[in-house]
Amino acid sequence: MNFLSISRHFSTCKKPNFGISNVLLFSTASSSSLAASQFMTHLQKNGPNIEKSLNLVKAELDAPCVTRVLESFSVENRQMGLRFFIWAGVHPSYRHSTYMYNKACNLLKVKENPNIVTDAFEAYEVEGCIVSVKMFRVVFNLCREAKDAGLGLWVLRKMKDFNCRPDMIAYNGVIRLLCEKGDIDGAMGLMREMGLIDLYPDMATYVMMIKGLSEVGRLEEACRLVKSMRGHGCLPGTVVYSVLLDGILRFGSLERAMELLEEMEKEGGDCRPNVVTYTTLIQGFVEKGCSVEAMPILGRMEDLGCKPNRVLISTLIHGLCVDGHVEEAHKVVNRVAGNGVSNDECHSSLVLSLFRTGKLNEAEVVFRRMLAAGLKPDSLSSGTMIKWLCSEGRILDGYQLMDGIEKAGCVSSMESDTYSILLDGLCRGNHLMEGAKLANLMIKKGIQVKSNYVKDIIKHLKSSGEEELASRIGRIQC
């Protein structure tokens, strides 16, 4: 080989490409690890008031660095890890993410051992450390992750010992925890207490309290709270009314729920009901077996220019089918198809509702009419129908339905399980021509055969002399 050909050979060889992103990733990981080592070394060498000494470390804080430090102290010295975490949370160059609060809560075992927090504040007092409101906020976020209302209330009371005035964020955080725990009286007490220090409930406070009261059935108090909001400059909007509506549907009457809806519709503006409000209302009617009585709600939506979505329509259609009002379900489909919900979606919802309520033959009729009319059933209704036909021993009907779905040009995302069940049925029924077509379709679409069907399919094909097809099936298993 001459020199020219040698140089050409080497010029065409690809040079290793480490990629700038990989270099940066390695560099970031290394710097985080180095910074964590500096913080850990510093923490292990210093005694009381570690916060002051931590300020002397010039290493850069980031989430991987904080994680490494927490992991190093998560077994033998969680108290040190907690104080580092609180210090890092108020550092001017860094803020904890929600993910980091969750990770810290798990690593430090705050939920299992809330004393770690109380011990930290006792240590602050003994060492004469300055504790700021921002530091308390970090701890409140840990209480939230631990879902510990008692601990949150203890921390709130502890603020005065460090001359820190609780703010709206602190009160709202504890009120949320108390409401989630079901201690509504405790939450109401804190809400009243706020007024004693010239703090007034904001929208978040009212939403939490109204939700809490509604969830335990204290509807009259919730309604009074809605009315009192205006006096504090908070105008109840759709969110507040929707929370109240949900409570009325659970513990009140449908008549009261409709009265609230009328109030919202008349109020308009920010109180105007949206599709979520109407869906909640219809769900309430359906759960009480009053699906027919919910149908006029569609007209109210139309009057306000609010279009239904698939969730609302599916809820109503299913309720009508459960209550035996199949004809009314058809009317709903014909009424709303193409108005916020596509014709395909409406009919697919009807097929599924009929199927789930045991009206199997009627579901099949609707499905076949869809294909005949050029509609495209969704993957769930298609898969459900084909699996049912196979379970009934109607394998060729299932195959023909699959063929019709493909010819309709449906962008199908049916589970591979559906194809596997059908292919297995075709092979067992000795419908080898159809089986070969389906296998080719699966190969073309990259659909793998489920492993629990492969062995029987291959065995049957080989016994029928279809060695080549058996080999191809073996290559598309998963």
Residue-by-residue DSSP string for 255-302: HHHHHHHHHHHHH-GGG---HHHHHHHHHHHHHTT-HHHHTHHHHHHH
**For residue 45, pLDDT beyond 50:** yes
Q: Which of 24-38, 378-392, 395-409 has the highest mean pLDDT?
A: 378-392
* Cβ-contact 86, 120 below 8 angstroms: yes
Model confidence pLDDT, tens digit, residues 236-250? 888 899 899 999 999
pLDDT, residue 476, reads 67
Q: ∠ CA 295-297-298 to the nearest 5 degrees?
A: 80
Rounded to an integer, what is the distance from CA 104 to the centroid of its chain? 22
* Cβ-contact 172, 142 below 8 angstroms: no
- Mean pLDDT confidence for 345-361: 95
Integer-rounded Cα radius of gyration of the chain: 32
Q: ∠ CA 314-318-322 to the nearest 5 degrees?
A: 175
- Delimit the domains of the chain by residue range: 28-164
Concatenating the DSSP letter of every residue in 8-76 gives: HHHHHSPPP---HHHHHHHHHHHHHHHHHHHHHHHHHH--S-HHHHHTT--PPP-HHHHHHHHHHHTTT
The end-to-end CA distance of the chain, in Å, is 49
Q: Which of 106-120, 128-142, 463-477 is predicted least confidently?
A: 463-477
Q: Which of 14-23, 77-86, 283-292 is predicted least confidently?
A: 14-23
pLDDT, residue 48, reads 74
Positive or negative, the CA dihedral 73, 78, 80, 84 is positive
286-289 CB contacts, 8 Å cutoff, 24+ apart: 286/315, 286/316, 286/318, 286/319, 286/322, 287/249, 288/254, 289/323
pLDDT, residue 270, reads 83
At 385, which amino acid appears? M
- The percentage of the chain sitting over the pLDDT mark of 70, rounded to a whole number, equals 92
Exposure on the CB side of residue 377, measured as CA atoms within 13 A = 32
Helix, coil or strand: residue 341: strand
Helix (H) or strand (E) holding 332: helix 326-336
**For residue 3, pLDDT beyond 90:** no
pLDDT, residue 134, reads 95
175, 176, 204 from 181: Cα distances, Å: 10, 9, 17
Model confidence pLDDT, tens digit, residues 280-338? 999 999 999 999 999 999 999 988 889 999 999 999 999 999 999 999 999 999 999 88
Higher per-residue pLDDT: 264 or 16: 264
Q: Where are the alpha helices (DSSP H) in 304-378?
A: 310-322, 326-336, 343-356, 360-372
320 CB neighbour count, 10 Å cutoff: 26
Q: What is the mean pLDDT of the chain?
A: 87
Higher per-residue pLDDT: 237 or 140: 140
pLDDT, residue 141, reads 96
- Mean pLDDT confidence for 161-187: 95
**For residue 440, pLDDT beyond 80:** yes
**For residue 19, pLDDT beyond 70:** no
pLDDT, residue 430, reads 86
**For residue 359, pLDDT beyond 50:** yes
Q: Which of 27-31, 93-97, 127-131, 183-187 is predicted least confidently?
A: 27-31
